[in-house]
Amino acid sequence: MELSTILQPECTTCATPGSKKKVLELISDLAAVQYPSLSSQEIFESLLAREKMGSTGIGNGIAIPHGRLANISQPVAVLIKCEEPIPFDSIDKQPVDILFALLVPADQCEQHLSTLSAMAEKLNDKLILKQLRKTQDESELYQVITQ
């Protein structure tokens, strides 16, 4: 699957959320734009439920929050670059500055796992990660991740 089919430019942002809760709220607000039938609260609760099972902070300043939603038909992604790293209970105990969030239809478990795996692999590429961290705005951030 091409990343540009699930990640829209309006769901890519540079921000300073300050906390894990605030960044999950930001993800929810951005994703709700793609799915007006869902409230940002529903999306937030899905992400929060997953975080309660264990942090999605995978280390090296990266987190991949994700959730399943019954009322969507297509996956939607959100990419956030934090101007200041935030505590995220990551596996390596380091703060997070790059977040790739994925919301998928509840009945698409296989696709969900393969997309998460592909994104984790992409974000583990040191060159891509360095380029993401050097970006100056949302447009540049989107271009780097979708190239």
Average pLDDT over the chain reads 89
Decide: helix, strand or coil at residue 71: coil
Q: At what angle do helices 138-146 and 126-134 cross, to 10 degrees?
A: 170
Predicted local confidence at residue 87, as pLDDT: 95
Q: Which domains does the chain have, with CATH numbers?
A: 4-142 (3.40.930.10)
Please give the positions annotated as active site: 66
pLDDT band at 1 (very low <50, low <70, confident <90, very high): low
Predicted local confidence at residue 37, as pLDDT: 79
pLDDT band at 68 (very low <50, low <70, confident <90, very high): confident
Helices (H), the chain: 20-34, 40-53, 109-123, 126-134, 138-146
Predicted local confidence at residue 111, as pLDDT: 67
For 113, residues 6+ apart whose C-beta sits below 8 A from its C-beta are none
- Run of H or E residues at 14: strand 7-15
| pLDDT above 70: percentage of residues in the chain | 97
What is the C-alpha separation between 118 and 28, in angstroms, rounded?
22
| pLDDT tens figures, 94-118 | 999 999 999 988 887 666 677 777 7
